[in-house]
């Protein structure tokens, strides 16, 4: 038993049921063309080339430069993002480098079939989270390099774009 003044360890405290997050921004990347599907032993790979995108939000605003590629591997009702890189330019002239790692997009069989056929589906029918890092030398945005960031991802071939909503896990 701990006294009132002694520190409480993580295991001694109750688990969190919800994580506090702060919305950083939304990013929309228009696709240049529908990707070719390349079957591999690890699933189907697709590379999505994009034109310039928009970055809008309470903490970050600007553009995403064209040429971003998103590689996906898929099997059954799960798609996995592999390597996502983007250069962002803020409205106030700073550069921010975005890297997203291995994330998961999963949906029910019907929803995934609709996505794969090019239909737009309700984003709430999709589970999609991607660990994301933002790097910059700009003093105003240094805080981006010191917080854990997760992105909620969504794409639609019908509208020919990908959408991300970036969140920082709040302290």
Q: Tell me: pLDDT of 11 over 90.
A: no
Identify the CA nearest to 129 among candidates 103, 154, 108, 149: 103
Residue 8 in domain: no
Residue 4 in domain: no
Residue 55 in domain: yes
The domain containing residue 32 runs over which residues? 21-169
Most confident of the following: 60-69, 135-144, 154-163: 135-144
SS3 of 39, please? strand
Cβ–Cβ under 8 Å, residues 109 and 143 = no
Residue 10 in domain: no
Q: How many domains does the chain have?
A: 1
Distance set, CA 42 to CA 22, 72, 80, 109 (Å): 35, 11, 11, 20
Residue 16 in domain: no
Structure confidence by residue, pLDDT tens digits, 77-119:
666 666 788 899 999 999 999 988 777 777 788 887 787 777 7
Residue 6 in domain: no
Please give the Cα distance from 164 to 152 (Å, whole number). 6
Give the pLDDT score at 156: 72
- Domain containing residue 105: CATH number: 2.40.160.20
Q: Taking the CB of residue 27, how many other CB atoms lie within 10 A of it?
A: 26
Q: Tell me: pLDDT of 140 over 80.
A: yes
CA 82 and chain centroid, separation: 11
Residue 72 in domain: yes
Residue 15 in domain: no
> What is the chain's mean pLDDT, rounded?
83
3-class SS letters over 87-152 = EEEECCCCEEEEEECCEEEEECHHHHHHHHCCCCCCHHHEEEEEEEEEECCCHHHHHHHHCCEEEE
Please give the Cα distance from 11 to 18 (Å, whole number). 17
Pairing mode, if any, of strands 149-156 and 161-169? antiparallel
């Amino acid at each position: 038993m701990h006294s009132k003044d002694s520190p409480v360890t993580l295991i001694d405290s109750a688990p969190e049921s919800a994580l506090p997050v702060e919305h950083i921004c939304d990013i929309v990347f228009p696709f240049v063309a529908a990707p070719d599907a390349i079957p591999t032993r690890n699933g189907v790979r697709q590379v999505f080339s994009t034109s310039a995108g928009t970055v809008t939000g309470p903490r970050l605003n600007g553009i995403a430069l064209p040429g971003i590629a998103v590689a996906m591997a898929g099997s059954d009702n799960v798609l996995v993002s592999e390597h996502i890189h983007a250069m962002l330019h803020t409205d106030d002239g700073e550069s921010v480098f975005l890297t997203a790692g291995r994330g998961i997009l999963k949906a029910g069989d019907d929803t995934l079939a609709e996505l794969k056929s090019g239909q737009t589906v309700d984003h709430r029918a999709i589970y999609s989270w991607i660990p994301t890092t933002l790097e910059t030398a700009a003093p105003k945005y240094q805080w981006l390099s010191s917080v854990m960031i997760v992105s909620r991802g969504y794409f639609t071939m019908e509208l020919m774009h990908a959408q991300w909503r970036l969140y920082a896990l709040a302290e």
